[in-house]
Amino acid sequence: MASVRPAFFCAWRGGKSKPASGGDGEQALLTQKPTNGLWSAKGTEQMTLRTTAWILLSISFFVPWARAQRAADVAYIEMVRVKPGSEQTFETTLKRHWGWHEKMGEKWAYFVWSVDTGKNEGAYHITSFGHTWKEVDESNALVAGTPGPEENPEPHHQSMEESYYRYRPDLSTGGLR
């Protein structure tokens, strides 16, 4: 008795297949039904079935765990208040400071915003996203020294706060990746 089955199903069940023309002119796949059914598999077929089931079960267990342990969810955020009248000098020095980071071997991308309204008006937010805690430690070690006066924006700071944030996909409505 012949039946139409997808090729992957036939190969997995051990059926023999051959293409044939269907009644509507499309290609159909006619397959001879295997002598032993899917649930009465014996020997090698039963071992393959068990192995496949074990692999699928393992994947279904580890995939959610791996997603919950996303490694690159750390963001660096620094808020800098610049001394009054030093904004232009601070910005010029900050550009040179990024060159110093690069010379020290750091590969992070930084994003800078200036706050235009609200209680932090006039402040700068310097951010970098998508890091692991290991990368944070490595970056801190790379830029642990003090840059030269032309590359050091700190003398222009009135105040500075830095924080590390962890992305929480379980509380978010959008995805970062």
SS (H, E, C) 76-101: EEEEEEECCCCHHHHHHHHHHHHHHH
β-strand partners of 110:
none
> pLDDT in tens for each of the 177 residues of the chain?
554 444 433 334 444 444 445 555 444 444 444 555 554 555 666 666 666 665 665 565 544 444 444 568 999 999 999 999 999 999 999 999 999 999 999 999 999 999 999 999 999 999 999 999 999 999 999 999 889 999 999 999 999 999 999 999 889 887 665
Query: Where does CATH 3.30.70.100 sit in the chain?
Result: 74-171
- pTM of the complete model: 0.58
Give the closest residue to 130 by CA, choosing from 165, 155, 158: 165
* CATH level 2 (architecture), domain 74-171: 2-Layer Sandwich (3.30)
